[in-house]
A and B are shown apart, each in its own frame.
Chain A
Amino acid sequence: MNAIMRTSLALLLLSAPASAAELTVLTAGDQNMVDYVNDYLGPLFEKENPGNTVRVVGTGPGDAGSQKIVERFTAQSGAGSAKWDADVAVVHEKFAGPMVEKNWLLSYRGDIASGKLVTRSNADMALGTKVSGFVMPMFNSQTALAYNPALIPTPPKSYDELVAWAKKNPKQFGYNGIKGGASGVSFVMGWIYAYGDGSADKLMNGPFEEAETKKWDKAFASLKEFNKNAVLTPGNAGTLDMLSRGEIAMGPVWVDMFYSWQANGQLPPTMKLALPAPGMPGQPMHYVIPAKSPNTKLAEKFVALATSPKVQAEGIVKRFNWYPGIDAKHVQAELDKATWDKLFTSITPDALAQYGKPFPIAPYNNAILEAYERSVAN
C-alpha cells in the first residue's frame, strides 16, 4: 500500500513537473471564509494535487472586500499585466456582473463536472447581468431576522407584523442602516419590496426604467417613521453584537454569520431565525477565475473540487450550516438526514423558497440606496 502510494506520488510528480504551483485564492468575506480554505478546502486540494499549494488571502468582510478585489483587477488590467496575481476569487454577487462586463473572467463552468449541477437562476443572472459560464456559486446566503425567543415567543411573520411589533416594543429592533453592511441593505430592499408602489418583480428582474424609481416615496416615508422605533447598529457584526448583549431583541442578520457567531460562542445558542413575508434578499458568493490567472487549469480544478457535491455537503452544509451553492438535491444525497434537517431548523425549505428573494438589479439597487440616503438618512 505504502509502496503503491509512493510510486503513484512519484509518477504524479514525474508526469506533471510543471504543475507544482501556488494557487492564490482571494476571498471576500469574514475570517471564516479564509478559515474555510485554510482548514478544509486547501488541504483537501493539496492532497488531491500533490506538489501544489493553496494560498488564501482574505480581502475583508462585506462589499468592501469584493470591491477591493475589483480594485486589484482594475489596477492590473489598467497596468496591462500579462498575468494577474490571483487564480481564483470569491466575490459577492453584486460584483460578478461588472467583472463579466469588463471581460476579466474566464468562462469555465462548461469545463468542469460540477457545472451541470447548478440550475438556480441566480447562477445565470447576477443583479441583471448575464453571468452564466463565468461563475460557480460557493454557497447561497440569506438574510433573516434573528430574535431572542425568550423575549419574542412568536416572531413576526411579515413586515406588517414587524412594524406593529416595533411600535409596541420601541428600540427593541435594530438594523445597521445601509452603510454598515449588506444585512441592513437587505432589510431595506425587503421594505421596498413590501411597501414600494412599483412591482417587486421588476426590481428583481428588470428592465430598468427611470419611472420606477419615483415610486418609493411613500415606502421611504414610512421607513423613516419606523426608524424612530428602531435602533441603528454599527455594521453586520454590530447587529449580532447588540443581540448578544441583549440590547436589542431582534434584527436582520446574515444566516451564515449568525451560525458562525453561535459556533464561536458569541451568541446564545437559544437565538433563532425567522424570514418574514414578502421576503428579504439573499445572495450567493461566487467563485470566479480571472482570464489572466497564471494557473487557469489548476484554478478550474480547485473550483470543481469546491463545488463538488461531496465538498458542498461536507464543507458548506455540515461545517458551516450554509445553504449549498449547487442544487440542493445533489448535496442532500451526500448527507445524513439530521445534518440536512439542521440546516432548516429555523427556516423551513418552503419558507426559504417563498421568501428568499434576490437583490434588485444593479441600477435599482443603487437608486434605492441613494434614495434612502436622500430621504431617510438625511
Chain B
Amino acid sequence: MMGQMFGLGYNVILVATGAGLLGLAAGGIGAFLFLRKRSLVSDAISHATLPGVALAFLVMVALGGDGRNLIGLMGGAALSSLAGLVIVHWLDRRTRLGEDAAIGAVLSVFFGFGIVLLTVIQTIGAGRQAGLESFLLGSTAGMLRSDAIIIAVGGALALAACALLRRPMTLVSFDPEYAATQGMRPARIDMAMMALALAVTVVGLKVVGLILIVALLILSPVAARFWTERSEVVALLAGLIGGVSGAAGAVISSLAPDLPTGPIIVLVAAAIFAVSLVLAPQRGVLAGVIAQFQFRRRVHRRQGLLAVAQGQPIYEPYTQRLLRQEGLIRRDGVATSDGQAAAERAALDERRWHMLRGLPEAAPMAARYDGLTPIETVLTADQIADLDRRLTAEGAA
C-alpha cells in the first residue's frame, strides 16, 4: 500500500492529499485576490464563518442530530461568511467607510458574536460541543475518514472551479476595463472570485482553522509574485506553493503530537515566502543587493575611465582597485595600453551621447542616457556613423 511506503498511515495520506488540494485551490484563488489588491477581504470571510458554525451546530442539535456533521457545519459557515462578505461590500459601497475599515468591523463583530454563541453552546449542552474550538486553529488529529474525504473532494472541486474561471479572472485582475470591453462583467467575476475564496475558506476550516486559513490565500500568492511578472504564472505558482505547503504541513504535523496542523502549514508557506523574498531572481533581496553592487561597479569603472581619458589622476580607492584588477591601470595609477583603449572608447561614447542629446529629433533615444549604457545598445551602426560625422564636423568648426 502506498501509505505504508512512507511509513504514514492511510488517514495521514488522505488528509495530506486533502490539504494539498486545498492549498492548490487557495493559492490559485489567492493569487487573483492579491492581484486585485483585496487579499484581506479573505480575513473578513474567514472570521465571519464562526457564528455560522456555531448556529449550524445549535440547529442540528435542536433537530435532534449530533451537531458535529461536517457538511452541516460547513454549510452554516458558508452562509454566515456570505453575510459577512455582503456587509463588507455594502459598507464599502454605501457608506463613507473604506474597505479596510469594513473588513475590520465585520471580522471583529462576527468573530465576537461567534464567541458568544460558543459560550451559549457550552451553557446548554455541556460536553457535547467538544470539537467546535478546533475550528479556530484547525486540527487533523483524530479526524474522521469521512471528513478527510469531504475535505479532499471539496478542495478538488474548488480547484476545478478555479481552473475553469482562470481566463476571466486573469483578465479582470489584470485590466478590468479591457475585460469589460470583451463582454465580461468585472463585478460578476469579482463576485465569483470571492465565492471561490469563500469555498476554500469553508473547506479549509477543519484543517487549518479560521484564524489561519487566510495565510494560504495570502502567503502563497505573495511568495509566487516574487518569481514572475505574469499574472497567470503567479496563479499557477501560488497554487503549487499552496499545494506543497498544505501537503507537507499535514505530513509534518502528523509526525509528532504537539505540531498543530494549521500553524505548521502556515509556517511551511511562510518559509517558502521567506526564501522567495531573499532569493527570487529579479525582485528578491539578494538580487537587489547584487544589482546595486553591479551598478556601483559600473559607475565607478566608467568614471575612472573618463578620468583616465582626460588625463586626470584617480584618488578614489574603490575605483583604483577596480581598474587595477581589470589590468586597466598599473599600480602607480598610470593607464596600461588596454586602459588607454578602454578610456578612449568611454570618452568617445560620452561624446556621442552628448551629441545625441543635443539633437531635438533624437529625444526619445537620448532619454535613455544614464551615463552607463553604451550607445551601441540604443542606436544602429548607421545612426552612430551619422553621429560621428556630426562630431567630426563640429570638431572641424
A binds B: no
